[in-house]
Amino acid sequence: MELDERADDGGARLRADLAAALKDAIRARDAIGTSALRTTLSAIANAEAVATQMHPTATIGSPHFAGAAAGLGAGEVARRHLSAADVYAVVRAEITERDRAAAEYAAIGLSSEAERLHTEAGLLTAIIAAVDQDR
């Protein structure tokens, strides 16, 4: 799928569909779906985090705490903006990770764990497919 950079919404539709699916999974008491969706949304949020070495520590300190930034919001840093392609890449990485782990579980005879991971990967794949189809 090719994403038009001019119409890049930062993966808002995919994020919204993941969040809606999470609400549905929680209401349905679907532990497998809830786990997969929470983990995936957390992975997207983690991808937006800014590495600590990207920003120098504050030079103005507090007399009470060494290295503390003084003033309201002085230590805040804006989160990274992910493109739609970045969000899709995170979700696809989550799918790949589950498929790889499922294969490893199956190889050592843990078929119930492998099946759970295949179910999670299938759920995420279905959500991406639905978003792609609507584009």
Three-state DSSP at 80 gives coil
**pLDDT in 10s for each residue of the chain, 135 residues:** 444 444 567 789 999 999 999 999 999 999 999 999 999 999 999 998 876 665 555 455 556 665 665 655 556 667 788 889 999 999 999 999 999 999 999 999 999 999 999 999 999 999 999 998 887
Tokens 């930062």 locate to 10
Cα separation, 82 vs 64, in Å, equals 37
Q: Which helix (H) or strand (E) holds 60?
A: none
Closest by CA to 18, choosing from 106, 108, 83, 88, is 88
Tokens 């994403």 locate to 3
Domain edges within the chain: 9-47+81-134
